């Protein structure tokens, strides 16, 4: 059963530093780690902090393998909304991680390709998953209701997620309606999980995930039953509301 540690920090800058301390320690102990990094706004400070530490010799990402967490479905190559593109801009390019070290989700969601993606991932295992939380409790794009043993798959995004993600792209009409996500089974099997949340808008869902009933209606609540060591870092606004 998981051990869940909660760290409440003052603000987003402190969250980035606290998360970077944990990621740096994990990577120092295991330079070949397989890492799943969330996109979204919450981890951007962490990725900037890791880039700064890499530049001063405090963090070496050169041997990591990066596994994609989620993406919209049906986008043309080069579409500005691609979450793979987001990951490249926020993390891979700044850290100098080349395509050869990245396992990309099958962009067309082909079932055979998805099944072999999961098989290969199960063999390697995920050493560290860096996650955000949706305002509806999703991890990646595991929209509620999501079973703890759900595999990597195509999902229809809920109206809540489409509304929440409209802030990235301008309007709800610009948010693709379908997505592909790593399954909760794959995420929860990670050896370490870091969940990050900041801002008052995450207050309600953070409390539900950590203190409410564990179940499919709040996929992030399953973190409390994961085999992994789970660290939750939230800023005061997310914790206190």
Which entry of 49, 143, 165, 235 is annotated as an active-site residue?
143
| 82 lies in the binding site for ligand GLP (CB under 6 A) | no
Report the run of H or E that residue 115 belongs to, with start and end: helix 111-124
Q: Which among 20-28, 32-40, 144-152, 211-219 is the span making contact with ligand GLP, rule CB under 6 A?
A: 32-40
According to CB under 6 A, which one of 19, 64, 69, 187 is a site residue for ligand GLP?
Answer: 69
Q: Tell me how far, at minimum, the Cβ of 69 lies from ligand GLP, in Å.
A: 6
Q: Measured in whole angstroms, how far is the alpha carbon of residue 174 from the centre of its chain?
A: 22
Considering only CA atoms, which of 122, 158, 136 is closest in space to residue 205? 136
- The residues that bridge with 194 in the sheet, in sequence order, are 130, 231
Q: Which among 16-24, 33-41, 54-62, 204-212 is the span making contact with ligand GLP, rule CB under 6 A?
A: 33-41
Is 136 part of the annotated catalytic residue set? yes
Considering only CA atoms, which of 183, 106, 82, 100 is closest in space to residue 141? 183
| 70 lies in the binding site for ligand GLP (CB under 6 A) | yes
Beta strands 229-235 and 192-197 are parallel
| 134 lies in the binding site for ligand GLP (CB under 6 A) | yes
Q: Tell me how far, at minimum, the Cβ of 57 lies from ligand GLP, in Å.
A: 29
| 126 lies in the binding site for ligand GLP (CB under 6 A) | no
| 190 lies in the binding site for ligand GLP (CB under 6 A) | no
Q: Which among 37-45, 84-92, 118-126, 169-177 is the span making contact with ligand GLP, rule CB under 6 A?
A: 37-45
Non-local CB neighbours of 105 within 8 Å, separated by 6+ positions:
68, 70, 71, 84, 114, 117, 152, 180, 182
| 176 lies in the binding site for ligand GLP (CB under 6 A) | no
> What distance in Å separates the CA atoms of residue 221 and residue 40, rounded to the nearest whole number?
19
For residue 77, the 8-state DSSP code is: T
Chain contacts with ligand GLP (rule: CB under 6 A): 38-42, 69-70, 132, 134, 140-141, 161, 165
Provide the annotated active-site residues: 70, 136, 138, 143
């Amino acid at each position: 059963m998981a051990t869940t540690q909660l760290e409440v920090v003052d603000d987003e800058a402190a969250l980035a530093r606290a998360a970077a301390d944990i990621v740096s320690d994990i990577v120092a102990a295991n330079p070949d780690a397989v890492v799943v990094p969330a996109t979204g706004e919450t981890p951007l400070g962490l990725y900037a902090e890791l880039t700064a530490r890499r530049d001063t010799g405090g963090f070496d990402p050169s041997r990591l393998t990066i596994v994609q967490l989620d993406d919209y479905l049906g986008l043309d190559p080069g579409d500005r909304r691609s979450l793979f593109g987001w990951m490249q801009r926020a993390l891979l390019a700044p850290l100098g991680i080349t395509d050869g070290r990245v396992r990309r989700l099958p962009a067309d969601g082909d079932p055979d390709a998805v099944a072999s993606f999961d098989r290969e991932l199960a063999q390697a295992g995920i050493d560290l998953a860096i996650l955000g939380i949706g305002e509806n409790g999703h991890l990646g794009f595991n929209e509620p209701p999501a079973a703890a043993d759900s595999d990597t798959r195509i999902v229809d995004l809920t109206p809540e997620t489409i509304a929440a993600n409209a802030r990235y792209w301008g309007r709800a009409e610009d948010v693709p309606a379908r997505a592909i996500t790593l399954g909760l089974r794959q995420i929860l099997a990670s050896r370490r999980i870091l969940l990050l949340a900041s801002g008052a808008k995450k207050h309600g869902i953070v409390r539900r995930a950590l203190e409410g009933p564990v179940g499919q209606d709040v996929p992030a609540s399953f973190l409390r039953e994961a085999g992994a060591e789970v660290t939750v870092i939230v800023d005061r606004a997310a914790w206190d509301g």
